[in-house]
Amino acid sequence: MFGFLREKLKKSIEKLTSITKKEEVQEVPVEKAPVEVPVDEEMEQEAPEEVPKSVKKEILEEIKKEEREEREEIKELAEEEGEKAAEEVVAKEVRREEENVDPVAEMMEEVKPSEEMGILERIGLKKPKKMFTRLKKAITEKVIEEEDISGTLEEIQMSLLESDVALEVAEKITNDLKKSLVGKSIPRKQIETVVKDSIRNSLMEILKFQDTDIVKMAAKTKPLKIIFLGFNGTGKTTSIARIAHILKQAGLRPILAAGDTFRAASIEQLEEHGKRLDVPVIKHNYGADSTAVIFDAVKAAESRGYDVVLADTAGRSHSNVNLMDEMKKIIRVNKPDLKILVIDCLTGNDAVEQAKKFNEAVGIDGMILTKADVYDKGGAVLSAAWAIRKPILYIGIGQAYKDLVKFEPEKVVESLLG
């Protein structure tokens, strides 16, 4: 599961990172040996050898302005150390101007203190770190503009749509990315991390809702009433049997209600699961009122001391008004503690429409996604969760009872970004 979506996200991250790292650079000319200057603790690292064109001109102007101001201060303070020292300082400054020494190149060299700096140290003045800090930031960080990434964000959105991610969800992920990047000054080496963190936060917001733990709920509410609903052929009956297996593993006693009185062999299918799991099944004849079957199952659970009622219902289209009205009646009479929508992952983006319609009709508390083991795109998972802002409780990843596993958003997100 998620293989297709994982590969799409990986390529998108690589492309976005690559584009935001690009910057036209040129070598800094060095016309003479650099003047020795001290390197304090914050400058003790190998200085970069290149400066981006886009920042060099601005930095040069600021450096020259600062050096002019500093030069005047040096002259005044040096005079206190004696006329000879002042003349030496002035002579060196004149030589720099005459020989057109590039101050950017000069500041980027890591050298030892000179006599001039000895004078400065004695009078308590240190070479300002501001210029080098600005230089280093300009070279090692990237201010990302919207035009840098707009095309790539569109490609990412298309990749998500190809992975069955609904448009609303794809737009959220790309908009979150834009907010995380545009206008921000980001260390070039950290751009990939920032991109991944943005996608991770978006996915967690999409997938992580208040946890609904059926086992914990069953320990507090007796009997816990759960009704399963969904489209035709999504795997409701099999999911009910798997939930019964999970409850039995936790030491609880479930009872099954054969509320699907329409589909051929649906009652026999549930009875067969009941025999295998040693779980009782409450049933009526085919064509009976589903509401009455589930009501009888609840009464049986109350009288016999069972912990959980797991009620099956007939598959129905979310667009069929009469069938949805029947579902409303089942809910109104039996007042379940949980209404779980079972969705087949292979339906792709139709999962969003199913989730919305069932939620509008009866209010969904959580979802089970089946056939995830044969669904590689993964987008329906994100879309269904975000469509109704309700948690995915379990996903089906195989044919055995144990192959219904608890959905853990953190693990899913790390799997997608791994």
Domain presence at residue 331? yes
Same domain, 373 and 254: yes
Same domain, 262 and 373: yes
Which of 128, 163, 181 is the last residue before a domain boundary?
128
Which of 161, 186, 207 is the last residue before a domain boundary?
207
Same domain, 110 and 252: no
Domain presence at residue 31? no
Domain presence at residue 301? yes
Domain presence at residue 185? yes
| Number of other CB atoms surrounding residue 25 within 10 Å | 16
Q: Domain of 353: which CATH number?
A: 3.40.50.300
Same domain, 157 and 237: no
Domain total for the chain?
3
Same domain, 155 and 219: no
Domain presence at residue 149? yes
More confident residue, 239 or 51: 239
Return the H-helix or E-strand segment holding 395: strand 392-396
The C-alpha atoms of residue 269 and residue 287 are separated, in whole angstroms, by 16
As a whole number, the mean pLDDT across the chain is: 78
Same domain, 382 and 297: yes
Same domain, 182 and 290: no
pLDDT in tens, 170-217: 899 899 988 888 887 777 777 788 888 888 899 899 888 877 899 999
- Read off the pLDDT of each residue in 146-154 and give the average, rounded to a whole number: 84
> Per-residue confidence at 122, pLDDT binned at 50, 70, 90?
very low
Same domain, 187 and 287: no
CA 339 to chain centre: 28
Same domain, 243 and 306: yes
Q: Domain of 148: which CATH number?
A: 1.20.120.140
CA angle 323, 351, 233 (to 5 degrees): 55
Domain presence at residue 350? yes
Instruction: Output the pLDDT for position 212.
Output: 86
Q: Which amino acid is at 294?
A: I
Same domain, 201 and 219: no
Instruction: Output the pLDDT for position 258.
Output: 96
Confidence (pTM):
0.70
Same domain, 223 and 311: yes
Going by C-beta distance under 8 Å and a sequence separation of 6 or more, which residues neighbour residue 193? none
CA angle 377, 14, 172 (to 5 degrees): 55
Q: Could you tell me the residue range of the domain that residue 149 belongs to?
A: 3-21+144-207
More confident residue, 315 or 60: 315
pLDDT in tens, 353-389: 889 999 999 999 999 999 888 877 778 888 888 889 9
Same domain, 159 and 295: no
Beta strand residue intervals within 53-144, DSSP E? 141-143
Going by C-beta distance under 8 Å and a sequence separation of 6 or more, which residues neighbour residue 140? 48, 187, 188, 189
Domain presence at residue 138? no
Which of 169, 186, 207 is the last residue before a domain boundary?
207
Asked if residue 284 has pLDDT above 70, the reply is yes
pLDDT in tens, 22-71: 544 444 444 444 444 444 444 444 444 455 555 556 666 766 777 677 66
CA 386 to chain centre: 13
Domain presence at residue 151? yes
